[in-house]
With several copies, the nearest count.
Chain A
Amino acid sequence: MPSKVDSEASAAERVDPGISRGDVDGFQLGGRIWGSRLIVGTGGFRSLEAMERALVASGAEIVTVALRRVDPLARGSALEVIDGLGLFALPNTAGCYTARDAVRTAQLAREAFETDWIKLEVIGDDRTLFPDAVELLDAAQQLIDEGFTVLPYTNDDPILARRLQDAGCAAVMPLGSPIGSGMGIRNPYNIQIIVESASVPVVLDAGIGTPSDAALAMELGCNGVLLSSSVARAKDPERMARAMRQAVEAGYAARRAGRIPRKLHAEGSTPDQGLPDLG
């Protein structure tokens, strides 16, 4: 598993375990090679300790965080844990409903985290938390112009994914189903189409409920998976984090191993010839 990322180096040119291990299987994202294809969100954990144990068990190197007003009473912070583990904190613009808010939040994040990477989220409504395509594209354009490395949380519309890619996003991160719904991948066909036409990495973000969802995402050809609720709110977050890690690795390996085709009828694996005639 990827060695701990060297925490002294500034966020910008952190030594990538992928590169350091010369990992031909490395996960290419944002012009760097990472050792783990699982990106974990820090939202929803019952405690920082539970979050820390789960992050370690997940093997994730990229961990998402948000920005909120300072709470003077808060004890400890997600960022301290992430820095302590030598992981890469990827800020998001969760909670933004307009391009303007998202751009501002990204600028704040650049100050707060000293990185120009941003998980861009621009939401359309608070029941589905689906992305607002128009605002998302607008925000992406502006942030790319300002030199951000933009990783947009998008829906599973292949056309929007292509527009985001053409605008210069570093990846496209289509949802499988609503954030925190645990419904897995509702439309695997669209995800496949996005994967087919993508010239940037595709990371399935949102809706993963259980490891088989994560494995399916990788088997469909996604380059990585981003999940949070399915681990944070599991009965045993640490054990679920480990399961997700194995699922992403298994799915990726399966994709490269080349599965057998699906058929309606059977094809026995035991030879028929040489069957004894037992009277």
Chain B
Amino acid sequence: MTIELNGRTVELSPGATVADAVIEAGADRDSRGVAVAVDGQVIRRVDWGKTKLRSDQSVEVVRAVQGG
């Protein structure tokens, strides 16, 4: 299935979960400072592995960066 990951169209295997998207985005699962929103809804870290993604969903994976 295809989703939009951090603004890029990405192909994921069917049944992929939020956790897979995190890895696809280049962040490893347990790295601190990572957070995910699917279609604007924040997914709690504990639910990453249980939340299946659907085609055309928009996934944003963010991480801590320097900020004022």
Do B33 and A79 touch (CB < 8 A)?
yes
For residue B25, CB closer than 8 A to chain A, the reply is yes
In the bound complex, how far is the Cα of B56 from the Cα of A123, in angstroms?
Answer: 30
A108 → B minimal CB distance (Å): 4
B58 touches A277 (CB 8 A): yes
- Residue pair B35, A67 in contact (C-beta under 8 Å): yes
CA distance A18 to B42 in the complex (A): 34
Does A203 interact with chain B (Cβ within 8 Å)?
no
Cα of A55 to Cα of B63 in the assembled complex, Å: 20
Q: How many residues of B contact A (CB 8 A)?
A: 28
Question: Quick one: CB contact mask for B17-29 with A, threshold 8 Å, 1 for yes?
Answer: 0000010011100
With CB as the reference atom, state the residue of chain B lying closest to A179. B68
- A-B pair count, CB < 8 Å, reads 145
> Shortest beta-carbon distance, B24 to chain A, in Å?
9
CB distance from B60 to the nearest CB of A (A): 4
Give Cα A278–Cα B7 distance, bound, in whole angstroms: 11
CB proximity to B under 8 Å, residues A228-279: 228-229, 268-271, 274, 276-279
Q: Determine whether the beta carbon of B64 is less than 8 Å from that of A111.
A: no
**Closest CB of chain B to A146's CB: distance in Å?**
11
Given contacts A277-B7, A278-B37, contact A67 B62 (CB under 8 A): yes
- Contact assessment for B40 and A104 in the assembled complex, using a CB-CB cutoff below 8 Å: yes
The interface of chain A, by Cβ under 8 A from chain B, is: 41-45, 48, 51, 64-74, 77-80, 83, 89, 91-92, 94, 104, 107-114, 179-180, 228-229, 268-271, 274, 276-279
With A269-B66, A277-B60 known, 9 other A-B pairs at CB within 8 A are: A64-B67, A66-B65, A79-B32, A108-B42, A112-B35, A114-B32, A179-B68, A269-B68, A278-B40
16 contacts between A and B (CB under 8 A): A44-B68, A65-B67, A68-B65, A69-B60, A70-B26, A78-B64, A89-B64, A108-B60, A110-B35, A111-B44, A112-B33, A113-B33, A269-B66, A269-B67, A279-B37, A279-B40
